[in-house]
Chains A and B, each alone.
Chain A
Amino acid sequence: MSAIFPLAFASEEVSLLTAVIMGFLFGFTLERAGFGNARKLAGQFYLHDMTVFKVMFTAILVAMVGIYAFAALGWLDLALLWINPTFLWSQLVGGFLLGAGFIVSGLCPGTAVVSAVSGRVDAMVTFVGVFLGTFLFAVTVDAFPWLERLYHAGSLGTSLLSDLLGMPAPLLAALVVLGAGAAFLGAEWVERRMAGRYPAVENAPTVRPRLKLAVPGALAALALGATFAPAPHRSVPVPEFERMSAGDVARRIIGREPGLVLLDVRGTAAAKEQGLPGAQAASLDSTVVPVLAGLAADQLVVVYDADGKLGALPAGWPLQPRYAVLAGGLAAWRAEVLTPAVARDATSAERALVAEQNQLAAFFSGATVAAPAAAAPPPAAGGGGGGKKKEAGGC
């Protein structure tokens, strides 16, 4: 039985359209709940306005019951949903810090967005702070090993509370609903007790004229800054691009290494000059290379150009398979594999090496090397690899 949900959209554009729609509804609902007002949100922590708790928990209950009811009816495939992975320590510390930041700014990141577009200057400033903090974390998690350890500490992978407590999820969902019901009664009681303790707040002071000018000015400056910010180049080089010697590549071809793919990226030169046997042509300029689609993570793709000057992985190519660059390119292949030469004063080790190279040369120039594929062209790596591909990378 296949479930109807989650919907799978044929195109990314349609999926992104749903993102705008759901985001719109999210923002509208938060605004109507009063979450565009920092004072109302802060009221949660001084106990006189429990709106945050009431709205948030009601929403969690509704979505939770919906998810587990649809799953029980077979309408929703839970295995396809993205469930936040559990990292106990980073979530413990991060949660506490986020709560602290929440009461200091009066907003959380999502409500800061809603409040900012409602014209609230404090929310705009908060959102600028969120950017600073995000950057600060990215820099410090890279610089301090202890912070990176904390970031990964207490990993349980995908962990559901119901599994942890050893009970069926629908039962736990029902218990959460009952518990929340009791908590709502408690929240109402607390609000009644605290009523009138603090001055009622309905209208925020409008900012002084000077600041009123400063805000559009700051936003315009930001927009200008963004315009002149360094243009982001979208190609990200692969950190460690493996280089592989011609001899190594040759031995892999002879050994019929499963899943080996040879990729010729010389462009138009490939048509004129013979490349590696079984190699497939690909353009460095195209972001979609059909050969690379669906390769398994451990498959080896040997990329070569004319002279081995290849630097970075082109933009858009999947990181998934293992890439290696043929050291020295096709020139090295010719020199080392096709036409090996021995120097007059070579040592015995060098002579042994050349002897082996001569065997390789014999193989690739079509001579007999005591192999069944003697007269036939060398193994077509692309075709042979295609068959193996399915075994390795089944999804």
Chain B
Amino acid sequence: MNIQKKMLLSAATLSLGVLAGCGNSNEIVMWTPLTGEDGQIMDQMVEDYNDTDPEFPVSHVITPDLYTQIYTVMNTGEGTPDLAMIHADRVEGFVRFDMVKPFDDLMSTHTTLNQNNYIDQAWTAGEVDGSQYTIPLDVHSNVLYYNQDLMAQYDIDHFLDDDVLTFDEIMSLEGQLEDGHYAINNALMSWVLLAQVVNLGGDISDDAGNPTIDTPEMAEAMEALVAVEEAGLMTPQGEDGFAMFQGQTVIFSSDGTWSSLAHDMVDDLNYGITNIYSFDSDTWHNRGSSHLFSMLVSEDRTEEKEEGIGEFLEWIYENSITWADAGQIPASREVYESPEFEDYQQSFFTQTEEQRDSLLIFDYEYYGYVEAAINLVILDMLYGNISIEDGLAAAQQEVEDLVAQGHGADIEIDLDDFEVEDAE
């Protein structure tokens, strides 16, 4: 057995010498979860940056299961990327487990990287206990697509005079639509629901950090959605609401900014974008998230390289107009205020301060649990398979159970403190 093992190891070492051995120490390795179109656009941006001949060129690595991969390298402490793109709702958890390094030092030498220069919600998503842990790239948001031809057909253009579609306006279509036509579809339903909860003054967590799903606000928001469904205005369960919007049988589609890429491929689809519907035209939100640059804790990253990262992020700040091609909203003020960006549909969300304020980014540490738990029950609640009461109670309990598991780390810390005191 020993001989076998030795043979195996020597074969391994041999192949290693031949096969490994690239990897430039001057390279900034950046991991992103951007598969598909997004990834190619980011590749293009990185190429453009490297063409400026920086001291520290960037190497873009697409990782389809980014968080799994981060877990694996953090467990060995080696192979950690210099820069990693994470989502807004991951920041708090990463900070808690000391996985990310703050940008505070870098911000003092690269002054472009400051709060005033970025969409506020995207910036503050990276702020924990007074330190800045991430620099935002974009906001990608929930958006309401509308079919212009269908709106003209039903003579409802005035619905959007104030840029907000309300539940009342939707309900007024009851009985007015042709057979096979629907008012709205059920795409990204959980994002719509979360926006409604905030419209009603609710939230997904309380001040103590406990999840709040089974709340009167959530129930009220859900009831409003169910009323739309019961009026026959929502696309039926099991139908592909996304394809139905492209097939021009549904007037409004609540989807992501990025879906415009696919909509553009449909020949005679005339569509526009506006805010996600709301209870009244004074209060509205569009639930979104943000891609954020972060530095995972690593011993290999030199200070010089960090300066190089600062350079890159400043370049991104100035040049992320390319990123708008992916259907996203660049977080950089210089870009979203530029005349070029006005050509992009999603500039709708940055035109006014009021519009920018409508972008809703959750940074609750357990947001991921909340969204997953809601997704598990939302369609069943919407189509009456289960009651709203039962669905919300189940989701609430599930998130509480998950959060309780996560608090294992706290227990450990408490015990340590206790022991220290004892020893004294």
Q: Do A and B come from one complex?
A: no
